[in-house]
Amino acid sequence: MIELRGITLTYDDGPPVLSGVDLAVDEGELVLVAGRTGVGKSTLLGVLPGLVPRFTGGTLTGDVLVDGRSVIELPPRERAHLVGYVGQDPVAGFVTDTVADELAYGMEQLGLPPATMRRRVEETLDLLGIADLRDRDLRTLSGGQQQRVAIGAVLAVHPRLLVLDEPTSALDPTAAEEVLATLTRLVHDVGLSVLLAEHRLERVVPFADRICLLTGDGGVHVGDPADVLRTSPVAPPIVELGRALGWEPLPLTVREARRRARPTLSALRPPVDVPEPPAEPDHGLSASRVTVVHGRHVAVREVDLDLPAGSVTALMGRNGAGKSSLIWALQGSRRRYAGTVAVTGPRGDRVDPARLSADERVRAVGLVPQSAADLLYLETVDDECAAADAGSVREPGTCRALLARMVPDVDGTLHPRDLSEGQRLALVLAIVLVAEPPVVLLDEPTRGLDYPAKEALAVTLADLAARGRAVLVASHDVEFVARVAGRVVVMAEGEVLSAGPVRRVLAESPSFAPQVSKIVGGGWLRVDEVVAAAAAPDRPATGEAS
Amino acid sequence: MASVSRLSRELHPLAWWGWAVGLATAASTTTNPLVLLLIVATASVVVLARRTDQPWARVFRLYLLFGVVIVVVRVFFRLLVGGAYGTTVLVELPEIPLPDWVLGIRLLGPVTQEALLGGLYDGMRLATIIICVGAANALVNPKRLLACLPAALYEVCTALVVAVTVVPQLADSVRRVRAAQRLRPSPQGRGRRHQRLRRVLVPVLEDALDRSLALAAGMDVRGYGRSGGLGRRQRLLTGALMLGGLLGIATGVYGVLDTTAPRWLAAPMLVVGVALAVAGLLSAGRRVGRTRYRRDPWRWPEWVVVASGIATAGLLTRVARDQPLLALPSPLEVPTLSVLALLGALLPLVALVAPAPPLVRTATPAPPSTSTREKVDA
Amino acid sequence: MSEVRTRAAVAVPVGRRSALVLAVASVAGLMMLVWPLLVQVEAGTRVQPPFVFLALMPVVLAVVLAELSEGGLDSRALAILGVLVAINAVLRGMGAGVAGIELVFFLLILGGRVFGAGFGFALGCLSLFASALLTAGVGPWMPYQMLVAAWVGMGAGLLPRRVSGRAEIVMLVAYGVLAAYAYGMFLNLQGWPYLLGIGIPGVDGDGLMFVPGDPLLENLRRFGVYTLVTSTSSWDTGRALTNAVAIALLGPAVLTSLRRAARRARVVRVPVDD
């Protein structure tokens, strides 16, 4: 049994990030750590392998016990055989080149005999269902495969506890399912203890034995998932629906919820969308037969896409489906192999952004790339804002005002890389928006954002659309897309699979259907619209958010 | 058992490096363009036949390109600031005088055959050395190579492994950051140029540091650098051996330099110092309680490959000694070859006895994606 | 997380034993480097360059690196070391084609400044080693380059800690210029007897050759002229200028980045409650 006792962590003179945390993880138990971003989920997880405070600074008091023996004074490397840890980005932690070598690395460090290593490598490959990847180059694996190799790499040394920090947040729904299925098997069959943090609760809650909710003041609330989620500030849509409709006991899986929903909600009339305004041909962005080629690989094949002004369109699809390539090609920086793109240029005429100079392009199409921090190069937030204002010849303070509208209280003297994910994204978006581009493209902006930060982003995007901008957002996050988008385009293998109003496209696809749609069916997407309809069952529901 | 040794596998990294260093040594003894071209050709043949399809194997082309650049730069500088040496003037260029304090440098002036070909031969020699090293780089997984270094330098090797891993990522990172920086309005006015460098350097550095810390965390939690139970006494002994060794070396150096000092302070002291230092290194290496998953074997093909490299170096060194006019040809005469030089330059082809590298599946097609497509279509 | 300014702290401290090893190794290395100025012979004997030093130097460096890594380089320091070595190797490779533009000291000095003398030593050593591997600069001169570059990094780590802000940049720029010239001079001293040959006392009095047995001042004068003519006026000045400009323009930003990494990499003792 692994136990945390009275864990308190402070950085310098600040208030404690964790204070008096007690948590015990039993054998064969999966405990989910939940809470808003910035309340210390990663910090709590890092205490177990000893990365906190040794890698982060700060002062830790309390005790960490493994089978009653204190390990708090041991550095991470001396705990390797007890606690396995997989960080947020598995690729960043890979030390070797091939799958088998990566699995063996930890055992090499422990000095195990080669024969044992060979046996355990094979066992681990089988256990995780990655035996056919044995000699593959780690960089050529898909995200879900990489995550499973990272888990296998720490499992091979047979630790008592597996600690996972957001194992599925960067993955598309299918890959996330692969990883979670593997984890459940490990917990059930091997009796491994797992402690994992995840902000996309809807994926993990059904698998959790207990939830450890960080309350935000440094304390934790540990208990049965249904109990904890009843009052939790973060909750998956399924729980929100249950709470709003007063279901008791609170359903945690789609199956349970569907059973509860059948008697009350089946009578609801399916929602009707307000018809979209007809797309005006000379506003927003229109692209036809766009093709992007990398060497011999066709990343995007003859894609037609219209982004009408005043609308938010979501771009979905698995990792590697060509979403990023398409976005960069629409923006004009990446060379198109074929096809045309037209946007309203800086002088008000329709132009191909690829033909503009870099500075003109910034004013025609704004793009927030996947690693948004690449745009930042100065030492404080204020400097970044000032540089953006000066670059676009705007009033000083424009960028700061844009930022304040998205996230109100950001300390301007902070280093941009010390901001939270949500704040940093807002800063980059503000810098991009200073140039007032009529078209805004965002590549996976929801990565690492919690529910409130996603909500803030959704409000921002709706606001942009209301101001007449055309917005395209690529995302894996079904719930976010359901909340924010009017239209959805689904890509696979570089081609468009389906496109149309969000209600139709999401409802059609089992892997992209939001939880509400799985429970209630019939084109329902969001908790608020179901609740509103349930409150007034006679009135035909509309697609407008209440 | 020849067949077993030659079964498809990666040759021991040190064997390839020994071979390549032999070639480079051979190239450094001569400026004969024919010999140099032959060495480049043999190295290229071996690389093409025995490299893997891993990313580092693709760098050989870059080394060849780099060699060409070196030759061009050498010749260019020879002509730019060559000074007037040689008498066989090919072209008269106007001379640009420089102020006196730039001692002995003048720009342009007459282009002589001596300067032109001298620069060319000289550049070719350096280019060949570099291409030989490039061959080793293309044939050897750098991480496997670093795993061969002594255990006491384990940590240092790890830093180098990180460095080797980071270099290709840096290129990737630079490309990404440059693209991203073009997404924001560029600063106007004064200092634009230095801003431009900074706009790339700072995000790349931050990115690289972030990654390295993530890598360090990943290594640490997986047990990297566990103390192999080295006790206090062992540590003391290690420290004493190392310090003693260094003191011995320092004294020995002094003894060698001051001929009036007693003779036992010179060579004997150096030997004692080095012995102690090596003992200290071995003792320090014992703290690393690490095992290897798959050890690189050293069999007869390894010996043959290394021997061919050394033999090449030996043969061409002999050519340089016995046939100096062939090894260092005058820029005014047509370079020639001898049987010995030809043999020396072609000998590295023996390395083709090395087993063919295993096929590493780097780019197998992604797992069938039809399932998703069906799901989405459904 | 509150913003911490750790101007004074050294990220990777050097233990007493490591400091001793560093000192002895530096003395031994210095003697091998400046041997022409130390050598004492009777007049009239022919002196061969002590080739044995070329073999000794790697042993000395290996011992120092082993000691440093045993004494104080944990995995975080190692990872940062690796990254800086990689960037340095690339910077050096970039400069290799252009006369006098050598950026290798820029990051070396900033790294030594932030992470301390021991780290600076290792960074200097490994940067030169890695770039030699990458750009094929491997040769008998390499251990000497490694040693002198290591001193440059170590020196940057030994500069006064209290200086901060603009004064710190000025100090580092001045140090960078000094280090660039010193580096050139030391390496010239190493190459001088090999390149020009060794004179025979009483015969070669006029040239720039090293003449063993001649008065120290006389040899120093010859070396001074030699180094001034061959490099101080051209290569070294180029190196000094590029480094000074790079530190002045990019120093503040890079120092901030490195200090952020250093801050995260700081070890704090973990007290136990029970």
Residue C74: give the domain boundaries: 16-264
Considering the domain boundaries, does residue C2 fall inside one? no
The pTM of this model reads 0.75
Query: Does the residue B227 lie in any domain?
Result: no
A11/chain C closest Cα distance in angstroms: 6
Mutate to test the interface with B, among C53, C83, C110, C249 (most CBs of B within 10 A): C83
- Whether B8 and B143 map to the same domain: the answer is yes
**B216 with B349, same domain?**
no
Neighbouring chains to A with at least 3 Cβ pairs closer than 8 Å:
B, C
| Residues of chain A found within 8 Å of residue B179, distances taken between Cβ atoms | 328, 333, 369, 374
Give the gap in angstroms from C-alpha C261 to the nearest C-alpha of chain B: 7
Scanning chain B, the segments in alpha helix (DSSP H) are 2-5, 13-28, 33-50, 60-81, 113-139, 142-146, 154-181, 192-221, 232-257, 267-285, 300-322, 324-327, 339-346, 370-377
- C31, C33, C78, C234: best mutation site toward chain B, by most B Cβ within 10 Å? C78
In a domain, C196, yes or no: yes
Q: Please tell me if residue A379 touches chain C, with a CB cutoff of 8 Å.
A: yes
- A483: nearest Cα among A405, A545, A421, A407: A545
Distance CA B99, CA A330 (A): 55
Closest C-alpha to A275, from A487, A536, A59, A431: A487
Q: Into how many domains does chain B fold?
A: 3
Residue A538, min C-alpha distance to chain B (Å): 32
Q: Within 13 Å and on the Cβ side, how many CA atoms surround C1?
A: 21
Report yes or no: A95 at the B interface, CB cutoff 8 Å.
Answer: yes
Nearest beta carbon to residue A136 from set B179, B186, B361: B361
Residue B126 lies in a domain: yes
Residue C7 touches partner A, C-beta closer than 8 Å: no
**Minimum Cα–Cα distance from B200: chain A residue:** A377
- Whether residue B171 is contained in a domain is answered as yes
CA separation (Å) from A252 to A203, B277, C93? Answer: 11, 66, 58
Q: Partners for B (CB, 8 Å, 3+ pairs)?
A: A, C
Pick from B187, B213, B226: CB nearest A387: B187
Chain A residues whose beta carbon lies within 8 Å of the beta carbon of residue C253: 377-379
C206 lies within 8 A of chain A by CB: no
Residue B237 covered by a domain: yes
Please, what are the domains in chain A? 2-235 (3.40.50.300), 237-267+514-546 (no CATH), 285-375+438-513 (3.40.50.300)
pLDDT tens track for C176-196: 999 988 888 888 787 776 666
Q: Does A107 touch chain B (CB under 8 A)?
A: yes
Nearest to A281 by CA among A253, A307, A248, A255: A307
Query: Domain total for chain C?
Result: 1
Which residue of chain A comes nearest to B293, CA vs CA? A114
State the smallest CA–CA distance between residue B368 and chain C in angstroms.
Answer: 37
- Residue C5, chain A, CB below 8 Å: the answer is no
- Give the minimum alpha-carbon distance from B138 to chain C in angstroms, rounded to a whole number: 12
The 10 Å CB-count burial string (b at 16+, else e) for A238-255 is bbbbbbebebeebbbebe
Residue C6 lies in a domain: no
Residue C254 lies inside a defined structural domain of this protein: yes
**Inter-chain CB proximity B367 and A142 less than 8 Å:** yes
CB A506 within 8 A of CB A525: yes
Which parts of chain A have pLDDT scores under 70? 12-13, 38, 270, 272-282, 345-347, 522, 537-546
Q: Give Cβ neighbours of residue B373 (< 8 Å, ≥ 6 apart).
A: A492, A493, A497
CATH number for the domain harbouring residue C68: 1.10.1760.20
Both B68 and B174 in one domain: the answer is: no
Distances (CA, A) of A315 to A291, A352, A411, A501: 16, 21, 33, 12
Q: Which residues of B touch A361 (CB under 8 A)?
A: 182
Residue C167 lies in a domain: yes
Say yes or no for a CB contact (<8 Å) between C272 and A70.
yes
The residues with which A161 forms a beta bridge, in sequence order, are A83, A193
- HSE-up (13 A, CA, CB side) for residue B125: 16
Per-residue pLDDT of chain B (378 residues; tens, 9 = 90+): 445 777 778 888 889 888 988 898 888 788 889 999 999 999 999 999 888 777 667 778 878 887 888 788 777 766 765 555 667 777 777 776 665 544 444 566 777 787 788 778 878 887 888 788 788 878 887 767 767 777 677 777 777 777 777 777 777 788 888 888 888 877 665 556 667 777 888 888 888 888 887 888 888 888 877 765 556 777 788 888 888 888 888 888 777 777 666 777 777 888 888 888 888 888 777 766 677 777 777 888 888 999 999 999 889 888 888 888 888 888 788 888 888 888 988 888 888 888 887 765 444 443 333 333 333 333
CB nearest B222 (choices: A135, A154, A493): A154
How sure is the predictor about C174, in pLDDT bands with cuts at 50, 70 and 90?
Answer: very high
**A492 in contact with chain B, both atoms CB, cutoff 8 A:** yes
Residue at C270 is within a domain: no
Residues 62-101 (C) with a CB less than 8 A from some CB of A? 74-76
User: Of A157, A174, A378, which has the smallest distance from its Cβ to B372's Cβ?
Assistant: A174
In this complex, the residue of C260, C268, C273 whose CB is nearest that of residue A6 is C273
Instruction: Give the residue on A whose Cα is nearest the Cα of B211.
Output: A92
Do B247 and B268 belong together in one domain? Answer: yes
Measured between CB atoms, does A393 come within 8 Å of chain B? yes
pLDDT beyond 50 at C3: no
Q: Which residue has the tokens 């200097």?
A: C124
Yes or no, beta carbons of C38 and B165 under 8 Å apart = no
- Specify the range with the lowest mean pLDDT, choosing from A287-301, B92-106, C53-67, C154-168: B92-106
C162: closest CA of chain B, how far (Å): 25
The answer to whether the CB atoms of A51 and B221 lie below 8 A apart is: yes
- B197: contact with C, CB 8 A cutoff: yes
Neighbours, chain C (3 or more CB pairs < 8 A): A, B
Locate B197 and state its tokens.
Answer: 């460098």
Q: Which two tokens stand for residue B90?
A: 């090919």
Kindly state whether residues B111 and B173 are assigned to the same domain.
Answer: no
Q: From chain A, pick out residues whose CB is under 8 angstroms from the CB of C267.
A: 54
Cα-based torsion angle of the residue sequence A536, A540, A545, A546 in order, rounded to the nearest 10 degrees: -30
B277 lies in some domain: yes
Nearest to C78 among B155, B167, B260 (CB): B155
Range of the domain at B134: 2-147+298-353
- Residue A327 to residue A197: CA distance in whole angstroms: 31
Query: Euclidean distance between the first and final Cα of chain A, in Å?
Result: 48
A375 touches chain B (CB under 8 A): yes
For an interface test with B, which of A94, A108, A368, A389 has the most B Cβ atoms less than 10 Å from its Cβ? A108
Task: From chain B, pick out residues whose CB is under 8 angstroms from the CB of C41.
Answer: 259
Distance from CA of A339 to the nearest CA of B (A): 21
Look at B214 and A101 and tell me if their CB atoms are within 8 Å.
no
CB contact under 8 A, A418 and C270: no
**Two tokens at C60?**
């000395």
Best of B194, B222, B296 to disrupt the A interface (most A CBs within 10 Å) is B222
Residue among A520, A334, A493 at smallest CA distance from A503: A520
By CB atoms closer than 10 A (0-12, 13-18, 19+), residue C16 is exposed
